[in-house]
Structure 1
Amino acid sequence: MDDAVLAAMARWPGVPEVYDWLRLDRRGRWRLKGERIDHAGLHDFICRNYAADAAGRHFVQNGPQRVFVRLDYTPWILRIGDGGLTTHCGTPFDAPDAAFIDEEGAVLVSNRRGEIGLIDDRDLPAVLDRLMSLDGEPADPEALANIDRQPLQLLLDRLTLPVRTLRRAEVARRFPFDPNPLPPD
């Protein structure tokens, strides 16, 4: 977090938290009350001060005020680049260890830290090109429909990730995060 944010937190404790103002969409765009944030400086500030609490609620620390983020799917939105996966904040998504496909065809990747990210749908053609059978053959539609019976792997940079199915309703429980933080009663 920014030093100025940390100083403000120490100086003004007890500032009320904010809910249902900030959202992260499935393409990694921040939205404030539904409007997309296009200002590069504000985007960078949000990313530098984006974190999660012990309950898995993601937030942006805005000075002394904590602004909780509603997640359209996962806490991280991932893009595929030459050097591997990058988050919507432009940071590496290090140590990927598995890939998942949900019932809608969305592709997710987990890492060794227990984090989960959704591959941006604009990168799905690149993902399809990297999905292989265990014997190295490109995955065909039948293999994609039968992942539980015909294991697949995702070739990502120099890594080979096992691919499994995962229902969307299970994602937040398996990789503990709260997609819609609510104020306490």
Structure 2
Amino acid sequence: MDEQVLAAMARWPDVPAVRGWLSLSARGQWRLHPRGRGWGVPDEEPGEAITSPQILAFIGRNYLSDDAGRWFFQNGPQRVYVRLDGAPWILGMDADAQGRPQLRTHTGRDYGPVAHWWLDSGGRLYARSAQGAGLVSDRDLARVVEALRTAEGRPLDDWLERPDPAGIAVRLTGDAGTDRAGAATPLGLLADGALEATLGFVRRP
């Protein structure tokens, strides 16, 4: 968190939190809802994309969660709760210094190691790590699935065609099939309606 934000919080400790003003799309785009009607009202605003690099960087540096799994942007002394259309982190695929696959968040941070993967009935792939829950962006989904291998080093094609409810152990590997993340990680099926409880976050705080 920025030093000036911490200073503002100390100076004005009792500023009420707000909701309905900020959302994060399933593709990792921050959206502003100018009238504060982003959710919880009959006439929800679609919001306007935030494109300023300076503002995006500021939000990213001061984006946190509370103990209840509610994510927020600390805007100076005021907490601005965020509507999450996908998950707290939207994940893309990049490469590390050795050219191996590396997950990164919509804010540009490295993500992982992944403790658990989840696949829902709509084909969306979620991850859980110490940073919190992440959703693989649809733009990078095919690349991430391609980089995942079974514990025996096989592609996931056969399992994806007939997913076993018991799940499977997977690794994120490099082009040469080398182990990227150490021990194999569970990949399970996410029950409908169980997203927030399973992954520990609140979509509309």
Runs of 5+ unmatched residues, structure 2: 34-46, 97-101, 175-179
Q: Is 1:137 aligned to residue 161 of structure 2?
A: no
Counterpart of 2:115 in 1: which secondary structure?
Answer: strand
C-alpha displacement at 1:128, in angstroms?
2.9
Q: Summarize deviations over 1:130-168 as a string: whole Å, max 9, x none.
A: 34445433233x521323267362424512433211135
Counterpart of 1:8 in 2: which secondary structure?
Answer: helix
Asked if the contact 2:91–2:106 (Cα under 8 Å) also holds between the matched residues in 1, the reply is: yes
1-side partners of 2:173 and 2:108: how far apart?
Answer: 18
C-alpha displacement at 1:51, in angstroms?
0.6
Asked if the contact 1:143–1:150 (Cα under 8 Å) also holds between the matched residues in 2, the reply is: no
In structure 2, give the amino acid aligned to 1:44.
A
| TM-score, normalisation: structure 1 | 0.87
Q: Which residue of 1 aligns with 2:2?
A: 2
| TM-score, normalisation: structure 2 | 0.79
Aligned mate of 1:117, from 121, 128, 134 = 134
Q: Summarize deviations over 1:63-85 as a string: whole Å, max 9, x none.
A: 11110001012111111111211
Aligned mate of 1:103, from 95, 100, 121 = 121
Counterpart of 1:147 in 2: which secondary structure?
Answer: coil
Asked if the contact 2:133–2:201 (Cα under 8 Å) also holds between the matched residues in 1, the reply is: no
Higher helix share: 1
Higher strand share: 1
Runs of 5+ unmatched residues, structure 1: none
In structure 1, give the amino acid aligned to 2:128.
S
C-alpha displacement at 1:94, in angstroms?
2.6
